[in-house]
Chains A and B, each alone.
Chain A
Amino acid sequence: METQIILLIFVLVLSIFLGVELITKVPSTLHTPLMSGANAISGITLVGAILSSGSSEIVTIILGTAAVFFASINVIGGYLVTNRMLGMFKKK
């Protein structure tokens, strides 16, 4: 358990540094699609929601199912609207 947590903290720290490196390179023109795209990625909590929703306890199922609903709005809406916006960026 402890070693696993330490490993996950390691993953967390590296991911933050990677995120900073990646995002600083995004030009200001694309900041709105970046935000909505990042928003969709934060819907990854859907993975946890699915596991809760599939549980056997009634309270966990209710909470998990509500979580699946909200997270899937976030994921589907976020990716689609980002795609819609990026489709507008054209060069002559």
Chain B
Amino acid sequence: MDTAILVNLFYIASSILFIVGLKMLGSPDTARRGNFLSSSGMLLAVLITLLDQNIIDYKYIAGALFAGSIVGYFAATKVKMTSMPEMVAIFNGFGGIASLLVGSAEYVSGTFDNPAFLGAIFLTVLIGGLTFSGSIIAYGKLSEVISGKPYLYKGQQFVNGILLIAIFLVGINMLFFQGFISPEELLILLIVLAFILGILFVIPIGGADMPVVIALLNSFSGLAACAAGFVILNNVLIVAGALVGASGLILTNIMCKAMNRSLANVLFSGFGAAPDATSDSTQEQGEVKPISAEDAYLILEAASSVLIVPGYGMAVAQAQHAVRELGELLEDNGAEVKYAIHPVAGRMPGHMNVLLAEANVSYDVLVEPDDVNPVMETVDVCIVIGANDVVNPDAKDNEGSPIYGMPIIEVDNAKTVFVSKRSMASGFAGIQNPLFFKPNTRMLFGDAKETVSTLVSEFKG
């Protein structure tokens, strides 16, 4: 049999492994095996590619594979779960730059008479480049190397428009007119423009919206690989790239829905850039009722159903282990304990679930807002730890609020609400939260970890 056919048959096999692997990620019971299958698919694709007869020298491939694997291994084993968003962001960037380099390598060694081939190269370099520079900015914002504040400037739309026109012209030139400037210069120009586009795309977006950006860049890294597949006419790149592209787009959509905002609004509005006039800080808010951990314990001891609503503040305070211990003590005390997790809690989709899983919270007690909101009246005590905007009743009641219409966890319907909070400062969105002034709300001021630890010691007491 022809080797080309054999190679393609193996590529089909590895595509199947990717697909089945992703399907098995649909349940926590099978997810780990799914990931293993997917990685076997990758191994198979790489091994069969190494058999290619056109490969002249293996030493560079071997060296780069080895070096990359070492870096990847240390990154994966050392990263803290709280830093997961940064890691995914930078990895998206690496995927993008790898596709850009593949496209460039094909361009410099290829022929310049086939518009389909050149068009695929153009897309690979463009998407790969903007994924790379955009991911670096996202990484910088998440790790707070650069400010997480949305950065808006005058004439932004105009600059973006000029940039897109320039990219379009470079594309036309690349596809149809050779000899205007040299192919190498054209390629370098395209790479530079793609990098600038990526930077300008992420810079205006605030830290709170980074989950959407990472999901979108994740999708782009897949699309870049997909475009590279059209450059080298390889089906496994197209299948795998398309799967990743679809995955990123769906997550982007889920995040946007959870914030009740359109993708365009997230990308271009610079949410939270200026203090909002509609945040009614002047309005009579009522009285804030603090409670001591000792008194909170007495109420918790009598509760038969408790709902814990964690936000990113819980992870910042490193309180997740204390929270899990409290949850176990409550269960031993006969209460039913659940954790309600809002889709935008944490800094990337599903981040909070991973942080709780790391603290040994069983995944079957993690519930979504839609599961818990209808039965909120039956909850005796709701403990809000480090969450703010996702429990803000203004999202339902106040049409003037910037977050009006955003799906929330309706903790104000529970019989009693405890809010653990450092101070009365507002959340990411910078808006006031009327929950703190409701008659059934009690504030547990202080560090989340200390507060929860005090509750734990009261129970053990």
Query: Which residues does A use to contact B, with CB under 8 Å?
Result: 1-2, 4-5, 8, 11-12, 15-16, 18-20, 22-57, 59-61, 63-92
Bound-complex Cα distance A76 to B364 (A) = 30
Chain B nearest CB from A37 CB (Å) reads 5
Could you show 22 A-B contacts with beta carbons less than 8 Å apart? A2-B116, A11-B239, A18-B246, A22-B246, A28-B254, A29-B28, A36-B88, A36-B91, A38-B218, A39-B92, A39-B221, A45-B102, A48-B234, A49-B98, A52-B101, A70-B95, A74-B91, A74-B95, A77-B75, A79-B35, A89-B357, A90-B360
In this complex, the member of B35, B81, B215, B351 whose beta carbon has the largest number of chain A beta carbons within 10 angstroms is B35
For B104, list chain A residues within 8 Å (CB).
Answer: 63
The interface on chain B, measured as residues whose beta carbon lies within 8 A of the other chain's beta carbons, has a size of: 112
Q: When the two chains form their complex, are residues A73 and B109 in contact, meaning their CB atoms are under 8 A apart?
A: no
Q: When the two chains form their complex, are residues A53 and B224 in contact, meaning their CB atoms are under 8 A apart?
A: no
B101's nearest neighbour on chain A, judged by CB, is A67
A7's nearest neighbour on chain B, judged by CB, is B235
Bound-complex Cα distance A31 to B236 (A) = 24
Contact of A80 with B101 at beta-carbon distance under 8 Å, contacts A19-B242, A35-B349, A45-B228 already known: no
Please provide the chain B residues from 70 to 100 with a CB less than 8 Å away from any CB of chain A in the complex: 71-73, 75-77, 79, 81, 84, 87-88, 91-92, 94-95, 97-99
Q: When the two chains form their complex, are residues A76 and B26 in contact, meaning their CB atoms are under 8 A apart?
A: no
Contact of A33 with B232 at beta-carbon distance under 8 Å, contacts A61-B60, A69-B67 already known: no
For A60, list chain B residues within 8 Å (CB).
Answer: 105, 108-109
Choose among B45, B238, B353 the residue that contacts A32 (Cβ–Cβ < 8 A): B353
Bound-complex Cα distance A16 to B250 (A) = 11
In this complex, the member of B21, B108, B354 whose beta carbon has the largest number of chain A beta carbons within 10 angstroms is B354
A72's nearest neighbour on chain B, judged by CB, is B68
In this complex, the member of B45, B98, B221 whose beta carbon has the largest number of chain A beta carbons within 10 angstroms is B98
Chain A nearest CB from B297 CB (Å) reads 24
Q: Does B457 contact A (CB under 8 A)?
A: no
For A83, list chain B residues within 8 Å (CB).
Answer: 32, 35-36, 39
For A4, list chain B residues within 8 Å (CB).
Answer: 233
For B45, list chain A residues within 8 Å (CB).
Answer: 44, 46-47
For B49, list chain A residues within 8 Å (CB).
Answer: 47, 50-51
For A55, list chain B residues within 8 Å (CB).
Answer: 54, 56, 105, 109
Q: Does B343 contact A (CB under 8 A)?
A: yes
Chain B nearest CB from A42 CB (Å) reads 4
For B54, list chain A residues within 8 Å (CB).
Answer: 51, 54-55
For A18, list chain B residues within 8 Å (CB).
Answer: 19, 243, 246
In order of increasing CB-CB distance, the 7 nearest A-B pairs are: A19-B246, A72-B68, A31-B350, A54-B55, A77-B72, A76-B72, A15-B242
Q: When the two chains form their complex, are residues A63 and B94 in contact, meaning their CB atoms are under 8 A apart?
A: no
Choose among B23, B31, B105, B241 the residue that contacts A44 (Cβ–Cβ < 8 A): B241
In this complex, the member of B56, B75, B232, B244 whose beta carbon has the largest number of chain A beta carbons within 10 angstroms is B244
B221's nearest neighbour on chain A, judged by CB, is A42
Choose among A5, A32, A63 the residue that contacts B354 (Cβ–Cβ < 8 A): A32
Contact of A43 with B95 at beta-carbon distance under 8 Å, contacts A37-B25, A77-B73 already known: yes
B108's nearest neighbour on chain A, judged by CB, is A59
Bound-complex Cα distance A44 to B222 (A) = 9
Q: When the two chains form their complex, are residues A32 and B116 in contact, meaning their CB atoms are under 8 A apart?
A: no
Q: When the two chains form their complex, are residues B92 and A45 in contact, meaning their CB atoms are under 8 A apart?
A: no
